[in-house]
Each structure stands twice: as C-alpha cells, then as structure tokens.
Amino acid sequence: MSKDIHVAFIGNPNCGKTTLFNAYTGAHLKVANWPGVTVEKKEGAMRFHNENYKLVDLPGIYSLTSYTMEEKVSRQYILDDEVDIVVDVADASSLERNLYLALQLIELGKPMVLALNMMDIVEERGMDIDLHRLPEMLGIPVVPVSARKKRGLEILMHAVAHHQGRKPNDRIEHQHSEQELNSKHRHDHHKDCVVVYSDEIEDKIDIIEEALYEKYGELPNMRWHAIKELAQDAEITAKYPLDLPDVLDRSYEKDIIKQKYDLIEEIIQEVLVNKDKKTQATDRIDKYLTHPILGVPIFLAIMAFIFFLTFTIGDMFKDYLVEGIDIVSKNLTLLLEQFQVNQVVSSLLIDGAIAGVGGILAFLPNIFILFLALAVLEDSGYMSRVAYVMDGIMGKVGLSGRAFIPLLLGFGCSVPAIMASRALEDPHDRLKTILVTPFMSCSARLPIYILFAGTFFPDNAMLVAFSMYVLGIVVAIAVAKIFYKVDAPTHKNVLLIELPEYKSPNVTSIFLYAWEKVKSYLSKAGTTIFVASIIIWFILNFNLSGMVEINDSFGASIGKFLAPLLIPAGLGLWQIVVALISGIAAKEVVVASLSVLYGISNINSAEGMSEMVTQLAQAGFTQLNAYALMVFCLLYTPCIASIVTIKKETNSTKAMLFSIVFQMVVAYIMATLVYQIGSVILR
C-alpha cells in the first residue's frame, strides 16, 4: 500500500487558503487542536491520480518567526520530515505583502508550489502578473487559481503531484554592487539561493554553517538554520547554541528582513504590470486613518457615530417591539384570568417570564444595529487599522497592538474576545489581555445603558452611553499598565499585521453576521435570561414561610444585607443590589431583574421608564446614582460564560478567581469615585 503524500497548505490570513483547502477536502475534514496548544488543526484527505493525499490547513501567518503560537505550530510542522510538499497560498491581488512568507518558505528548502489565489480579483482590477517571469525569479512552480470560482484547482494538484520531493532552485540574485556580483565565491556558493544577502551577511552565514556542521553534524536546511542563528531566533539558538562572539555580535534580523523586502520590490517591478488604482486609494486613505496623531480621534469619532445610529435608528424599531410585548402581556393576563389560572402561576408567567424576557427582547433593534456597524468596520478593512493605530499606546503598557484586537472584539462579546487572545505568543501577554478584556463594554451591557441613559439623561443619552465605551477602553489600558509595572516583560512586543485594501462591505455578509449575533442574543433570552428571570421572581416572591410580599422575600433579605456596602458608590438600594447580583449570570439580566423588582412589564416604554424614574426618585436615586450604576455595570465581575472561558483559556482556577474579585474591586472603586467626586461637585 502506497504511503500518503503529505501536503501542507500555508499562507497569510485572509488569502483564501481555507477556501482552497475546503474545495479539495469537501466533507472529509477533521478539526482538532495542535498538541499542547489551543490552535485549531484542520486535516483532510483526497485522492488524485491514484494517489492518496493527506492535506493539512495550517494557521494563517505572516512569517516563519516564532512570535505567535500559530507561527510556531506552522514552522514546526513544515520542518517535520513527514511533509512532502508545501502549498503557499498567496493573495495575488496583494502580491507584494504575500511574497515575504514565500521567500521564507523557499529558504527552508522544502518542495513547494506557490498558488496565486484570487486571480479573478486581479483580472477585475485590470492588473497583470507575468506568470512566466515570476516562477523563473522564485525558482518554484507558480499556479494561478481562484478558490472562490474553483478555477485552476486541477492544475495546482498536477503541480503538487509533479513537484513533491523536489526542492526549490534559484534563478536570480539580489541586486548588489558590481563588485559583489563579480564575486566568484558568491556566484559559485550561492547560485542555488533565491535570496542572496549582502557580502557581510553571506560571509557570516558561511561561518555559521561550518560551525553548525562541526558541532551538530549535517542538519536539514543548514543555510536556514544559519540565517536563524544570525537573526538570534530564540528557538534555534536555544536548540543549537554556538560560541561565535565575533560573528554573532548582534541580531541581524532587521537587516535580513530589509534585504528580503528589497528583493520583493525588485520582483514586483518585474512581474506586476498596471498597479491597481484601488491600492493607491487605500494608501491615500491610510495617510489619515493610520496617522499617529489623527488615528485615535478618528477611531473615537467613528465609534461615537456608531452609537448615534444605535440609539436613533434602534429606538425607532424598539418602540414597536415594546408595544408588541405589552399587547402579549395584556392578552396573556386576560387569558389567564379567563381560565382562572392559579395566582402563583399567573404571577410567574406575567411578572417573571414576560417581564424579564420581554424587557430584554425590546433591545433587539439596538443590538442588531450595533453588530451591523461593527461588521461594516470589519468587512471594510478598518478594524486592523485600529489595532495598528493603537500599537503605540499598547506598547507603553507592555502589550502590542495585536492585544487590542481581542479588546475590539470585546465590543461584541467577551467570550470570543477572550478566546482571540490565543494569537498572543507570550503567556504573560496572553494572561494580561484575558484579564483586561472583560473591562470592554460588550453588547450585553448595552440594554443597561439604553435604559438608564434614556431614562435619566434623555437629552444626552447617546453621549452618556458612549462615555461608557470610552471608559472601558481607558480602564482596560490603565489596568494593563498596572500589570506592566508589577510584571514588566523582558522583551519588546512587535506588531506584524496585514492592512488589507479597503473594500465595500458585502451587504449579504454583514447582514448574516448581524443576524447570527441576534440569534445568539435570542438564544440567550430563551435560556439564560428566562431561567434567571424565573429564579429572580422566585427569590422576590418567597421566603421560608411561602409566598410573601416582595419586601419580605429572600431577595429583599439578601439585598438589604449587602446594600450598606454599596452606599459609598451611591448604590445602596436593595433592589439595585439584587439586580447587580443577578447580572453575574448575564449582564442583560440586570434589566430583566429591574422589570421584576419594580413590577414593570413594559420597562422600555415611555410609560415604563417614567414609572421606574418615579419609583427610584422616591428612594433618592438621581442622575449621579444612575451614572455610578452604569460605571459599576461596565466594570464589575464578568458574566458566567466569560468566567468559564477565562478558566478554560488560562487553565487556572487562580486566574479565574482573581478576575472575579479584581473586577469587583475595580468596579467598586470607580463607581465610588464617580459618586463621591460627583457629589462634591454638585453640592
């Protein structure tokens, strides 16, 4: 029985690699994690010309350094002797940025094929790539494909079948001085190398290769190992230490990178005709959006505009939902009375389930608008610019701009945001990012802001809610700074991120994305929030004696016991305390709890808001109390789902418990400062 041919698919993020992989493997797919790490591993199988192929979809990476888990996993797999051939999938419409990984792979010396994907986009943009000159310059086969339109797939597999087992060989040298080009030693010794560096670096590579051979014998990819020694790659230098102080006098990584990009520029000049006008437009836009001074204010202005839309457009539709929920509540009440249903059951359904879940469902339009706007930012290519712009600020607190990506995702939901921290290679950076991510204002908190900002700050509701999002970012960065002071990293974080060309968002994609998020929200309303509403109704209507008035219930006893602790923060009402406790299940439950606590089935309607203001005002609850409450809700202990995710991602009960206690302390301090300082100012 013939041995399976192992094919590794590799490429930059968003190059269409997975689409191409799926086109070959179809349903024959196995998804797991790479051993010892939380990086997803995809394997598939196919048969081509009577041969069995095992295909592996490696994580999307930009280089073969070992800064991230994805890079480590990909590099180690390719270095593995089991890999017969590497398919480097490159986005042909962004050829210049994709060639860097290709050159690194060529240096590894593994058999490989370059798949130029998205050729349909290249044609649409009027670009022309010289498909004869490019393979000559790279010394490897180059196959144009379109994974989306399934063009060129069979030709690519023919190339894979033909070239597996064959190593790349070179046709060009990097342009240097005439003296360098006439060097016989260089011509003879490096004639099979695609990337030929300056004489200084090449001489050092020769010395290192000899030293490696003398100390460790013949290594596979000896030249690649020597280059990595020269770049002071931590993994390689630890595995193959050398005593060459005169040669390894510093890291030559920057020199090596620069000379690779110089070569890429020469290749592009020869093979790419008609530079895309869209690329030029992207460059012009980026002068402003990625400007070191203007970038952050522009980002804040865009977010403010998103919240303006969330409030104005969302509220238009919210009123209709409120009316619908009110009609359902009234009709169900009449129906229960008509059938003379037990008062306990009736109260459970109307005051518990309908009041709790209905109070949350009314915010669906606002949630949909928020996710729709975030999808537009992501699909247009702007989100990666935000990470780039924030890199300088994040660097000052010991993190790279890459860490800001999970924080951005936190605007939607903390759970996937915490999971996104997997992309951070350093375990300390990853832990810090996980611990600060829940400070970002997720969509579950939006109903709280809409309710209290709309009720207590009707003329400035949008600005008040927006201030919560800004405060979340500020607190997250400030806490990261504290962690940095306590545990300063021994290395400087470097951000390497693709800035894709701007494009018009795909209407279908962004609506599907927003709809998926709304479905998740509805699912939570039908499960977590429903169950929480029933539990809250129970503790607010019963004690050991049976069904009682709300002031004598279990909930009232718990709230009254803890309320004195929150008086300094302006949150000393027992009803508020009970609502905050319930919010640990899910932040939306705070609103559901208030509906039950104050007996307001239509809390989101004008009448419901007015009634809540009246009841709170009678207890001395003012605008300042409302703002302190929003601050507390923003910062306190994350929801159960986030807590479980923190435990899973850190594999540490200690980290999970620290997050619970630390966020509660931060929330208490911040809310107290807001209330106490505000009280002094307003005297």
Per the annotation, where are the binding residues for GTP? Answer: 11-18, 36-40, 57-60, 117-120
Kindly provide the b/e burial profile for residues 413-435, where b requires at least 16 CB atoms within 10 angstroms of the residue's own CB.
bbbebbbbbbbbbbebbbbbbbb
Residue 195 is encoded by which pair of tokens? 């990337």
CA dist list (Å): 281 to 288, 301, 408: 12, 22, 25
3-state class (DSSP) for residue 566: helix
Largest Cα separation within the chain, whole Å, is 102
Q: Which residue has the tokens 């008035």?
A: 549
CA gap 479, 476 in Å, rounded: 5
CA dist list (Å): 585 to 531, 582, 637: 10, 6, 10
* H helical segments located in 164-252: 178-181, 184-189, 199-216, 222-230, 234-239
User: Which residues 6+ apart lie within 8 Å of 296 measured at CB?
Assistant: 389, 390, 393
CA dist list (Å): 95 to 276, 378, 641: 11, 22, 41
User: Which residues 6+ apart lie within 8 Å of 133 measured at CB?
Assistant: 270, 271
Side chain identity, residue 180 = E
Among 92, 99, 70, residue whose Cα is nearest residue 148: 92
Q: Please write down the HEC assignment for all residues of 105-161.
A: HHHHCCCEEEEEECHHHHHHCCCEECCCHHHHHHCCCEEECECCCCECHHHHHHHHH
Among 41, 105, 97, residue whose Cα is nearest residue 73: 41
CA dihedral 449, 450, 455, 457 (to 10 degrees): 70
CA gap 125, 278 in Å, rounded: 8
Q: Provide the annotated binding site for Mg(2+).
A: 22-23, 25-26
Q: Which residue has the tokens 């059951």?
A: 345
Among 97, 96, 104, 100, residue whose Cα is nearest residue 75: 104
Side chain identity, residue 495 = L
Angle of CA points 451, 455, 457, to nearest 5°: 110
Strand partners, 159: none
Q: Provide the annotated binding site.
A: 11-18, 22-23, 25-26, 36-40, 57-60, 117-120
User: How far does Cα 377 stand from its chain's mean position?
Assistant: 13
Among 30, 20, 15, residue whose Cα is nearest residue 60: 15
Q: Please write down the HEC assignment for all residues of 266-313.
A: HHHHHHEECCCHHHHHHHHHHHHHCCCCCHHHHHHHHHHHHHHHHHHH
Contact 374, 411 (CB under 8 A): yes
Among 527, 512, 545, 667, residue whose Cα is nearest residue 588: 527
Residue 423 is encoded by which pair of tokens? 């992309």
Side chain identity, residue 580 = L
Residue 241 is encoded by which pair of tokens? 């230490």
